[in-house]
Chain A
Amino acid sequence: MTHLLTLIVVLPLAGFLLNGMLGNRLGNRFVTVVGCGLPVVSFLIAIRCLADLLGGGSVPLVETAYTWTRVAGRSFDIAFYFDRLSAVMTLIVTGVGSLIHVYSTGYMKEDKSYARFFAYLNLFLFFMLSLVLGRSLLVLFVGWEGVGLASYLLIGFWFEDPVNARAGKKAFVTNRIGDAGFLLGMFLLYWAFGTLDMDKINAAFTSGAAPVVSASLAGILLFIGATGKSAQIPLHVWLPDAMAGPTPVSALIHAATMVTAGVYLVARMSGLYLQAPEASQVITVIGALTAFFAATVAVAQTDIKKVLAYSTVSQLGFMFVALGVGAYGVAIFHLYTHAFFKACLFLGAGSVIHALGGEQDIRKMGGLAKRIPITFVTFAIATAAIAGIPPLAGFFSKDEILWFAFGSSRGGSPWLWAVAAATALLTAFYMFRLLWLTFLGASRMAPETEHHVHESPWSMTSILIVLAALSAVGGFFDVPHFLISLPPLPTPREELHHFELPLLGISIVIALTGLAGAAFFFGRGGARADAVRPRLATLHRLLSGKYFVDEAYDLVIARPLYWISERVFLRLGDRVLIDGSLHGLARLAQRTAGALSRVQTGNLHLYAFLVLLGSIACLVWSFRHG
């Protein structure tokens, strides 16, 4: 069958159109069948494509769906490209996506905009699939923008509350700032290579036959786009606010798929980044900084979803660290495991919120382990996975990252390893803190909430179980070596080989230390933590205020812009200059007319006198000219 790739991308679009136009009329059952069924079909087709790929010797499948335009002898096509990297991404997007769709049927059951929700989710899937399957940067960018749009629509899903609408706006605008860099990078690459097809660009860079263009410049520009989409410093500010959307949205978009688009972009353009050591260094530094600072902030957050949001930012930082040191396959591996355990965590949080009837503050939780056991067990497994406790999935991917951070020949160093290890310690610490405060210890719930506590319906808990299982065993599939289309993993320097096992041991120790520390401070309802907090009051305020980055941006960027807009452009430019010049022209015309009309006095003598003067002038003129 031809056009399978196009079918994968287009089926969710059909779902969007059907649910969007007919969903309200045809009822929830129709919406569920269409909204969940089509992504599942896409998933099955993706498996079939993977089989084709592996059967054909891993030669990438290429499909041109449509020629958009031809300009100056070059054509811009909508083409799809399927190699092993695309396969992994597509399977994650459609697989985890379908699971979250099924979960949403339970979570959003009572919502009055059920059809709209599934329409937007399918729209998101359509754009995300065109992002990961696109052959050229153009198709990728269409998907890139589209997922930004879908994210905006879904974050502000309950738009009647202006807070949600503002969060959606913030996400979109912050993304757009990154996209400016992306566009500039695209322009540069097109100008240099005459094509935007990523495989061709990679080949050109690898073979060295590229025209003279600064790979680092293009690399940094594309990375700016990735910073916006994947919430790295300095454009990370939208992700915590995006938690205003429904929890399945947070799970799908802001954990498993959309935010990983930046990681995918850098991994896909690995041919470019291998030739761009400065850009790779920038990626490493920003990734490490983001990972560390986000982890510190997560320690002090009190909203269950905000902790997970900062955790996502931190884990994305890890992925970028791996990309920066040249271990592209490892970054994708961590992306893959992260999709499982982070989706499980978010959906579990959704289950908790659903059980408590809307409560999200972990200070008002506790004692839930026995009352919502399935949620607790799955959440605990996912927490252990993210903390890096073997043999769960997160341990494998995180350990690989730490190893390459230490020993990669393309930028690894002990300092990098130290920062990453500290972040891993913090990760374990705050995740187990979350687990303890939410589920264990005595109940700190309000009495009304406590009455309503009930386990979530089967549509939600089944998904939790599936994702927890995947978090447990997913690490055994050796993704980095599966991704042969990516550059080979950087071989560590000779003398560092014998560090491998000790570092492995240290990773395990870090995870267990985090577990123990959290149990120590936050066991029994966080009594010891409350005792210690007053002594670290300033630090705590700094962390829970997330380093006041939003306030700083407001002060340094937003307020001056408002001032310029108000004072310079509105008052000066618009009112004085533009209106003033127009009014001035009108007044000039009026005054001139007034002055000229003084000739018409109605006095006949004056008119005759003017005739006299005119005739003298005519005579003089005719004497001179003729």
Chain B
Amino acid sequence: MDRVQLLLALSMALFVLGLLGVIIRRNLLVMLMCMELMLNGVNLSLVTFAQQTGTASGAVLVFLIFVVAAAEIAIAIPIVLLLVRSRRTLEADAYADLKG
């Protein structure tokens, strides 16, 4: 397996593990971290392709993903903090208010 194939397989594996983690784990913070893992998997595949073709567009997109991930976490964690303050639990099942 050459380098590109390895890296692509790794990025796919990271993505699948991230998605699986969102489905499996109960803890809200762990779910957030698994979503970060998914983003990292995508970043890896983007960098691989950018380096393959030599265009800089892939790198630009990677940088934008960095920015968006940072902004997202900057908002998501305070939201989680506020939610937890009222419900006093970190499990995702307690936040099923949008049922129906």
Task: Give the interface of A toward B (CB within 8 A).
Answer: 597, 600-605, 608-609, 611-612
Our pick among B19, B22, B23, B99 for the contact of A602 (Cβ within 8 Å) is: B99
Q: Say what secondary structure dominates the interface of chain B.
A: helix
Our pick among A604, A609, A612 for the contact of B31 (Cβ within 8 Å) is: A604
- 9 A–B pairs (Cβ distance < 8 Å), ordered by A: A597-B100, A600-B100, A601-B99, A603-B93, A604-B31, A605-B23, A608-B19, A609-B23, A612-B23
Assembly CA distance A609 to B97 (angstroms): 18
> Is B79 an interface residue when CB atoms closer than 8 A count as contact?
no
Assembly CA distance A604 to B23 (angstroms): 8
Assembly CA distance A388 to B36 (angstroms): 119
Inter-chain contact A612/B92, CB cutoff 8 Å: no
Closest-CB distance, B32 to chain A (whole angstroms): 11
Closest-CB distance, B38 to chain A (whole angstroms): 10
Closest-CB distance, A497 to chain B (whole angstroms): 103
Contacts of B100 in A (CB 8 A): 597, 600, 602
Closest-CB distance, A62 to chain B (whole angstroms): 81
Contacts of B31 in A (CB 8 A): 604
Instruction: Kindly report which residue of chain B lies nearest to residue A603, judged by CB atoms.
Output: B96
Our pick among A602, A608, A611, A612 for the contact of B97 (Cβ within 8 Å) is: A602
Assembly CA distance A603 to B28 (angstroms): 12
Contacts of A600 in B (CB 8 A): 98-100
Inter-chain contact B22/A601, CB cutoff 8 Å: no
B1-40 residues with Cβ-Cβ distance < 8 A to A are: 19, 22-24, 31
> Is B63 an interface residue when CB atoms closer than 8 A count as contact?
no
Our pick among A603, A604, A611 for the contact of B19 (Cβ within 8 Å) is: A611
Number of B positions contacting A (CB below 8 A): 13
Contacts of B93 in A (CB 8 A): 603, 605
Instruction: Kindly report which residue of chain A lies nearest to residue B34, judged by CB atoms.
Output: A608
Inter-chain contact A603/B23, CB cutoff 8 Å: no
Inter-chain contact A601/B19, CB cutoff 8 Å: no
Contacts of A612 in B (CB 8 A): 19, 23
Closest-CB distance, A616 to chain B (whole angstroms): 11
Inter-chain contact B99/A604, CB cutoff 8 Å: no
Contacts of A602 in B (CB 8 A): 95-100
Contacts of A603 in B (CB 8 A): 92-93, 96
Closest-CB distance, B88 to chain A (whole angstroms): 18
Inter-chain contact A608/B99, CB cutoff 8 Å: no
Contacts of B97 in A (CB 8 A): 602
Contacts of A609 in B (CB 8 A): 23
Closest-CB distance, A598 to chain B (whole angstroms): 9
Task: Give the interface of B toward A (CB within 8 A).
Answer: 19, 22-24, 31, 92-93, 95-100
Closest-CB distance, B98 to chain A (whole angstroms): 5
Inter-chain contact B22/A605, CB cutoff 8 Å: yes
Our pick among A597, A605, A611 for the contact of B92 (Cβ within 8 Å) is: A605
Inter-chain contact A608/B23, CB cutoff 8 Å: yes
Contacts of B96 in A (CB 8 A): 601-603
Instruction: Kindly report which residue of chain B lies nearest to residue A594, judged by CB atoms.
Output: B100
Our pick among B22, B95, B98 for the contact of A608 (Cβ within 8 Å) is: B22
Closest-CB distance, A624 to chain B (whole angstroms): 20
Assembly CA distance A612 to B20 (angstroms): 9
Not counting A601-B99, A608-B22, A611-B19, a sample of 6 additional A-B residue pairs whose C-beta atoms are within 8 angstroms of each other reads: A602-B100, A603-B93, A603-B96, A605-B92, A612-B19, A612-B23
Assembly CA distance A152 to B93 (angstroms): 78
Instruction: Kindly report which residue of chain B lies nearest to residue A615, judged by CB atoms.
Output: B19
Closest-CB distance, A347 to chain B (whole angstroms): 83
Assembly CA distance A601 to B99 (angstroms): 5
Contacts of B23 in A (CB 8 A): 605, 608-609, 612
Closest-CB distance, A201 to chain B (whole angstroms): 76
Contacts of A608 in B (CB 8 A): 19, 22-23
Closest-CB distance, B2 to chain A (whole angstroms): 23
Most buried by B among A601, A602, A612: A602
Contacts of A611 in B (CB 8 A): 19
Closest-CB distance, A599 to chain B (whole angstroms): 10
Instruction: Kindly report which residue of chain A lies nearest to residue B92, judged by CB atoms.
Output: A604
Instruction: Kindly report which residue of chain A lies nearest to residue B20, judged by CB atoms.
Output: A612
Instruction: Kindly report which residue of chain B lies nearest to residue A610, judged by CB atoms.
Output: B23
Assembly CA distance A600 to B97 (angstroms): 10
Contacts of B98 in A (CB 8 A): 600, 602
Instruction: Kindly report which residue of chain A lies nearest to residue B16, judged by CB atoms.
Output: A612
Contacts of A605 in B (CB 8 A): 22-24, 92-93
Assembly CA distance A597 to B96 (angstroms): 14
By Cβ-Cβ distance, the 8 closest A-B pairs, closest first, are: A602-B96, A602-B99, A608-B22, A602-B98, A604-B92, A608-B23, A609-B23, A605-B23
Assembly CA distance A608 to B38 (angstroms): 13
Assembly CA distance A602 to B97 (angstroms): 6
Most buried by B among A600, A608, A612: A608
Assembly CA distance A603 to B91 (angstroms): 11
Instruction: Kindly report which residue of chain A lies nearest to residue B31, judged by CB atoms.
Output: A604
Assembly CA distance A612 to B24 (angstroms): 12
Assembly CA distance A609 to B100 (angstroms): 18
